[in-house]
Amino acid sequence: MRNPFWARHAIGQSESCKSEGMSRPKVLVTGASGFLGSHICEAAHEEGHEVHALIRETSSRQWLNQDEIHIHVADLGEREAMTALLKDMDYVIHNAGVLATVARDAAECKRVNVDITRVLAEESIRAGIKRLVYVSSLAAGGPGKGPQARTEEDPDNPVSNYGRSKKAAEGMLYELRDRLSVVSLRYGMIYGPRGHNTLGFFKALQGNLVPLMGLKPLYSSVIYVKDAACAAVSALSANVSSGSVYQITDGNSYTIEELCDSIEEALGKKKRAKRIKVPFWLVMLKAWWNHDVRELRGISPDQVRNFKARYWYASPEKAVRELGWKPEMDLSKGLSETVECYQEYGWLQ
């Protein structure tokens, strides 16, 4: 762990992001049925918002409490549907998008992450939305040049199709900043209850052997999902300039080996799995074969391009300073809660 954020920002036990005395402004959450989206709905409800969850016809409602939120089924790309839905809203948290694990190519990344976001933004302008919070990714800024923390002032250089599409969406929203109040949040790797994105890693570490990408250390930033959700809700009402961009992480830098150690500790393992470092060319070959030839899900060539960059340590200090938000969960406790939930769901033995 490098330059611990916790040592510089004393934080007590995990707290609610709830504020007292608020009215009930209406907030539309897109991508609401998923991992982060469902937690955003809960955080917004707890904060005192009237929450409206936008999902697809095929989306699971497993994590959505229909006693607390209003569910709407619609296609984000259909202007008429968005016009009707947004006319009664005050705020939008745009969490929907195509992930690097799913996107087939750069064209799909652009269609979903840029073009559909443009439709939502333009209709938000017509509806008089007070603020749109865009859920972006550290991939939009690209990696750092070394193990030191990257800040929002550093030049952007996305290295993947996914990252370039998120950066393009941010740029499009920035161009609209005088007509629509927008804030973009660049998240580090999100982990926690309900997260399928890290489940495979936990499962691999239950065994005796785990392959790790690359022959040199990889530095990563992470954020617990409930802290990630509170950041999005805090950004709705923060007194910040339209077009602002913030990095959302727990403030610490972890090597992949350190994350493995921490996950195994949370799993209660006494004997650590043996780490086998795999060169990137071999990882890329396997990703290309599985993803592009066999059309299987799993790690994609686009993700490998991100990992190959090595340095993904990003500072959240600007967000802490300006959004009225701070990360509450330390890694050890967050991973323990994640393991408990995975076991409760039957995802882990």
Domain ranges in the chain are 24-256+301-345
CB distance 93 to 40 below 8 Å: yes
Distances (CA, A) of 261 to 199, 250, 274, 331, 346: 15, 18, 11, 11, 23
Per-residue pLDDT at 309:
81
Which residue, 201, 189, 162, 148, is CA-closest to 311?
148
pLDDT value at residue 58: 87
pLDDT of residue 23: 67
Q: Where are the alpha helices (DSSP H) in the chain?
A: 5-8, 35-47, 79-86, 106-110, 116-127, 161-175, 199-205, 225-237, 256-267, 280-288, 301-308, 317-322, 331-345
In 3D, which of 227, 247, 2 has the Cα closest to residue 141?
A: 247
Over the chain (349 residues), the average pLDDT of each successive run of 10 is 39 39 83 95 96 91 88 92 94 91 81 95 97 98 93 95 96 98 98 92 89 83 98 98 98 94 94 85 72 60 78 96 96 97 93
Does the CA dihedral 190-194-197-200 come out positive or negative? positive
43, burial (CB in 10 Å: exposed 0-12, middle 13-18, buried 19+): buried
User: How far apart, in whole angstroms, are the C-alpha atoms of residue 335 and residue 332?
Assistant: 5
Work out the angle at residue 168's Cα, subtended by the Cα atoms of residues 135 and 313, and round it to the nearest 5 degrees. 60
- Give me 26's structure tokens: 């209406």
Residue linked to tokens 């074969």: 289
Rounded CA-CA distance 59/235 in Å is 26
Q: DSSP assignment, residue 62?
A: T
For residue 16, the SS3 value is: coil
pTM of the model: 0.89
Distance between CA atoms of 260 and 265, rounded to whole angstroms? Answer: 9
**In the structure encoding, which two tokens stand for residue 91, read together?**
């705020």
CATH architecture of the domain covering 24-256+301-345: 3-Layer(aba) Sandwich (3.40)
